[in-house]
Amino acid sequence: MFVLNRIYVRDCGDRLFFTCRSGASYVFVLEAKTWSEASAYCRSYHQDLVSLSGDIFAIFLERDIPTWIGLHKDGASWKWSWGDSNYTNWSGEPSVGGGNCSSISSLTKQMAPLSCDTRLPSVCISDNLVLVKENGSWQEALERCRGLRSSSDSNLRYDLLSLQPADNQDFIRTKIMQADTEEVWTGLRFLAGDWLWVNGADML
């Protein structure tokens, strides 16, 4: 169970609201915006500008245009606005010239620093986090989450929320705060002497 920044132990038979989550999905936004506008748009309607992973290229691979991603300069170093990524395929040296915000070419899959005021399309990430406002035991919550299906992608499967270090904690907290209860179930369970996330992820 998750309450703001704390995890509490509750009897699995207690009846609480719960949070379900499926894998992230990506949204290509064709309307050209500055990096700040793109970031604000993604945070308002989805979750944030995307951090790069291998499957991201499939959604805009055929569009040969530079696109904003969630990488920007914070002081002297580059920082992802959401999550984390080890992707470092730069077109040239990022510290030479360019700007403080990163775009990526879908054709070459190379990042390039640009002025943050440049207007480009962008890619947002959506976390597919659902707050279910009905009381259920932990087991009922698990079964209900696993029974959910995405209306836009039938391959997305939901599970009780498992928290990870790369998660956007503010986004999760905002979603959970929409509950009318103080506590909600998550996918953390004590089983055979160990605490385990239902999705098999490592403990925080």
In the structure, what pLDDT confidence band is assigned to residue 159 with cuts at 50, 70 and 90? confident
Mean pLDDT, the chain, whole residue set: 79
**How far apart are the C-alpha atoms of 184 and 53, rounded to whole Å?**
30
Tell me which residue has tokens 């499957």: 55
Residue 33 pLDDT exceeds 60: yes
**How far apart are the C-alpha atoms of 128 and 146, rounded to whole Å?**
13
Q: Give the per-residue pLDDT at 4.
A: 44
Residue 138 pLDDT exceeds 70: yes
Domains of the chain with bracketed CATH: 2-23+128-197 (no CATH), 26-125 (3.10.100.10)
Q: Which of 21-25, 77-81, 107-111 has the lowest mean pLDDT?
A: 21-25
Average confidence (pLDDT) over 76-97: 75
Average confidence (pLDDT) over 79-96: 74
CA 162, 42, 38: angle at the middle one, nearest 5?
A: 145
Residue 132 pLDDT exceeds 80: yes
Residue 58 pLDDT exceeds 60: no
**How far apart are the C-alpha atoms of 125 and 152, rounded to whole Å?**
14
Average confidence (pLDDT) over 198-203: 77
For the chain, report the end-to-end CA distance as a whole number of angstroms: 14
Cβ–Cβ < 8 Å for 31, 66: no
- Reported pTM: 0.63
Tell me which residue has tokens 């309450």: 3
Q: Which of 7-11, 69-73, 79-83 has the lowest mean pLDDT?
A: 7-11
